[in-house]
Structure 1
Amino acid sequence: MAANTQHARPWKLGFRHRRWMIGGVIAALALTAGCSNRDPQTADNSGAGALTIVDQRGRTITLDGPARTVAFTVMPAPSIFAAVDRSYDRIVGINQSTRVANRGGMFATMFPASADTTTVAGSDFVPNVETLLKLRPDVVVQWGDRGASVTEPIESAGFPVVGLKYGTQEDLEQWITLFSRIAGKPDRGEQLVAWQRSEQAEMRTRVSGQQGHRPRAMILSRAGDTYSTTTAEGYDGFQFDLVGADLVTKGFVSDSGTVGPEQILSWDPEVIMLSGFDESTPADIYSDPRLSGVSAVRNKRVYKTPLGAYRWQVPSAESPLMWQWMNRILYTGAHDGQLRDDIRAAFDDLFAYRISDDEIDQVLRLDLNKNAANYDQFLR
């Protein structure tokens, strides 16, 4: 693979081609010969010295200084930490689901070590203490709102634990802030949170100008013949409203999220966004005769959600890109190529990576979505 010779550009995101330099003063980077699109990174010793962190449990954690090694039992925390650090160098342990996403998306391309990083927990988030003892991370990041059974074994083994909560945009912004403290880069955290908030404000302005009907939409997962969905009580309640959609599952209550075809027909979503946590494709939905009467199926408005550094549908460092993608498939407009430009700028700043056009196609799942209505707006 030949190196991409495009020079890194200033941070430029937003619907009006807003230019905004993020990351403070970034050292001039020389393009290296060989097969990597990654920018060389310089050491950051700005956070030297002991530090204290108050996690989302309200617990105070004291570290000798910025962590040299971090293990994550949760996802998508590693991709967010990598965006804060612009590096994968400190990450020594991850969740099994994170490794699956790494291998399936862009993350392993940007950070090859992430494809084989040691797993320290599975889908139940129960920590593998024996593995942690071998890795000896400076700090472990774990859910802080799922009871002591997932945190006490780690603390009993002698490792500091930073506990997280999940479910809101505010939680995501706190993750970014916590990770910037762990990395000894508080200014970087402030800049990324400011970007998230600025993009929210721009999206609200954009949606307020999109007068008329708000499309009915939903997230859908499929496993065999069984469907499941998300509710408005979680993050989707926030982001569907932000981008100008009426989430059809508002008021839906289900511990498992399982939903029958009859209920989907009753909701009659105009747009269906397929989860990135399973292998379902738009073709699978179109071929299910039980859903043939759904508006989104009839009008070819079923879309596989993007997979960038992580699955875009959940809170992540790339969430502003997800909001743009959602709004653009909900409200068709000019094919201005802005989202591709914003992906390119975001990957440059978040991950110090010069993403190619072919890789942007991969992120946007053009292979699966190419026949969906108005998806040609994302063609290069």
Structure 2
Amino acid sequence: MIDSAPRRTVLRGLGAGAAALAGAGALGACSSREPRQEVKAGAAGFTLTDQRGQKIRFDGPVERIATAIIPAPSMIAAVDGSHARIVGINQSTLQANKEGIFGTLFPESRKTATIAGADFLPNVETVVDLAPDVVVQWGDQGEEVIAPLENAGFKVIGLTYGTQEQMETWIDIFGTLLGKEKRASGLVDWMHEEDAAVRKFVASQDRAGDPVPVLYLRTAADGWTTANKTQYMNHWTELAGGVNVARDEATGTPQVSVEQMLAWDPEVVLLSGFDPATPTAFYADKRLAGLRAVRERRVYKIPLGGYRWDPPCCESPLMWRWTAQILHPALARRIGLRTRLAETFRKLYGHRLTEAEADTVLHLDLNARSSGYDGFRA
């Protein structure tokens, strides 16, 4: 596995609107999903092991969950098939719930109490008022984010994030926490099947041995940043038959100048789902007129489903298919993304996606001027 970028810097950026964390290789290399949680069979409750290696004992069913971690609620809801047990979330999650389709899937998520902001420091008074059975918090962000909760008497599950393997471990842990172990195992198996399917699609293309140059961008206060090979975007780019033009940059989320973009001259530019940047604005920037992706109208806004598709989430197999179709438009019919999108929302959330909702998830409006995007209408 590839190590993640420095956690404090990256995750503060994520809370403020950045995306994509550490990458991973093919799923076949990540089958162990360590560390595994332990369930004490025959006991009245259960014990699980979090990603700090800490064992947490529960004497009965968990009915109330609070989490400071931004992507956790969508994954908990996917494993549970419900938002009913989630009582506290991060401020950034609440914003996404109001802006994206998750608030349609689970209307109560638009009004969920917030227990932390971009720095992930918990508001202990709010947590006390919510009286959760457990709090889900980052396990690698230092004692300052966990100790106040444990000192207040709460059980805390500490998680780490960024690779495909770590995401699969989350699914395992949430399966145990929610009493949905079989469902969780099925979701991980499904991800492995989707990984194999996408790789097979890509291998069938004439240029399978000639990866498509891709640049991932997110806005920053002073311009743009991208992601190197330690980031999760590198995983889905390579899986889909692309090559990250910034993969060999020294830092995990390097700044990108216009001059550097022109030097890389990517064939495709993908704009993060964590900020308001759009292909239209990108095309209108005269400084970028010479960029191949601009000339060929191959700039695309990454979809926003139940969660943003840039970083690891339960909808990541949809991101793999979407990226493969962006890089290889001829695959549109075989990939069948809209059908997979509807199937996935039924699988994860029990929701029958309308055509209009699918259009919104895929940003058909924002991507309307980009080459080949009509392929996502069918």
The alignment's TM-score, normalised by the length of structure 1, stands at 0.85
Q: How far apart are the structure 1 equivalents of 2:235 and 2:219?
A: 23
Among 342, 345, 348, the residue aligned to 2:346: 348
Task: Kindly provide the CA deviation profile for residues 13-41 of structure 1, in whole angstroms up to 9, marking residues without a partner as x.
Answer: xxxxxxxxxxxxxxxxxxxxxxxxxxxxx
Whether contact under 8 Å (2:267, 2:298) holds in the other structure is yes
Alignment match, 2:20: none
Q: How many residues align?
A: 335
Whether contact under 8 Å (2:270, 2:301) holds in the other structure is yes
Q: How far apart are the structure 2 equivalents of 1:359 and 1:344?
A: 10
Q: 1:324 to 1:136 in 2, by over 3 A?
A: same
User: Is 1:62 the counterpart of 2:60 in the alignment?
Assistant: no
Q: 1:379 to 1:48 in 2, by over 3 A?
A: farther
Distance apart, 1:348 and its partner CA: 0.7
Whether contact under 8 Å (1:93, 1:118) holds in the other structure is yes
Alignment match, 1:192: 187
Alignment match, 1:284: 281
Whether contact under 8 Å (2:231, 2:252) holds in the other structure is no
Q: 1:330 to 1:316 in 2, by over 3 A?
A: same
User: Is 1:51 the counterpart of 2:52 in the alignment?
Assistant: no
Q: How far apart are the structure 2 equivalents of 1:130 and 1:255?
A: 35
Matched ranges for 1:196-345 at <5 A:
196-212=191-207, 213-223=210-220, 226-254=223-251, 257-333=254-330, 335-336=332-333, 338-345=336-343
Q: How far apart are the structure 2 equivalents of 1:210 and 1:151?
A: 48
Distance apart, 1:141 and its partner CA: 0.7
Q: What secondary structure sits across from 1:283 in the alignment?
A: helix
Distance apart, 1:184 and its partner CA: 1.0
Alignment match, 2:6: none
Distance apart, 1:254 and its partner CA: 3.4
Task: Kindly provide the CA deviation profile for residues 68-100 of structure 1, in whole angstroms up to 9, marking residues without a partner as x.
Answer: 010110121100110000000000011111111
Q: 1:123 to 1:224 in 2, by over 3 A?
A: closer
> What's the Cα RMSD here?
1.7
Q: How far apart are the structure 2 equivalents of 1:119 and 1:193?
A: 29
Q: 1:346 to 1:166 in 2, by over 3 A?
A: same
Whether contact under 8 Å (2:91, 2:117) holds in the other structure is yes
Instruction: Pick which of 215-224 and 193-202 moved more.
Output: 215-224
Among 157, 165, 179, the residue aligned to 2:174: 179
Distance apart, 1:114 and its partner CA: 0.6
Distance apart, 1:292 and its partner CA: 1.5
Q: How far apart are the structure 2 equivalents of 1:234 and 1:334?
A: 26
Alignment match, 2:3: none
Distance apart, 1:304 and its partner CA: 0.4
Instruction: Pick which of 198-207 and 315-324 moved more.
Output: 198-207
Whether contact under 8 Å (1:143, 1:150) holds in the other structure is yes
Among 99, 121, 124, the residue aligned to 2:119: 124
Distance apart, 1:65 and its partner CA: 2.3
Matched ranges for 1:44-193 at <5 A:
49-193=44-188
Q: What secondary structure sits across from 1:279 in the alignment?
A: coil
Whether contact under 8 Å (2:52, 2:139) holds in the other structure is yes
Q: Which has the higher helix share?
A: 2
Instruction: Pick which of 231-240 and 276-285 moved more.
Output: 231-240
Q: 1:48 to 1:349 in 2, by over 3 A?
A: farther
Distance apart, 1:210 and its partner CA: 2.0
Whether contact under 8 Å (2:227, 2:247) holds in the other structure is no
- Unpaired runs of 5+ in structure 1? 1-46
Q: How far apart are the structure 2 equivalents of 1:257 and 1:160?
A: 37
Alignment match, 2:361: 363
Whether contact under 8 Å (1:48, 1:66) holds in the other structure is no
Whether contact under 8 Å (2:212, 2:267) holds in the other structure is yes
Q: 1:138 to 1:89 in 2, by over 3 A?
A: same
Instruction: Pick which of 171-180 and 218-227 moved more.
Output: 218-227
Alignment match, 1:6: none
Q: What secondary structure sits across from 1:217 in the alignment?
A: strand
Q: How far apart are the structure 2 equivalents of 1:201 and 1:329?
A: 18
Residue identity over aligned pairs, in percent, reads 47
Distance apart, 1:237 and its partner CA: 2.0
Distance apart, 1:270 and its partner CA: 0.8
Whether contact under 8 Å (1:334, 1:377) holds in the other structure is no
Q: How far apart are the structure 2 equivalents of 1:155 and 1:64?
A: 17
Q: How far apart are the structure 2 equivalents of 1:78 and 1:241?
A: 28
- Unpaired runs of 5+ in structure 2? 1-41
The alignment's TM-score, normalised by the length of structure 2, stands at 0.85
Q: How far apart are the structure 2 equivalents of 1:52 and 1:125?
A: 25
Distance apart, 1:329 and its partner CA: 0.5
Whether contact under 8 Å (2:301, 2:363) holds in the other structure is yes
Q: How far apart are the structure 2 equivalents of 1:217 and 1:107?
A: 28
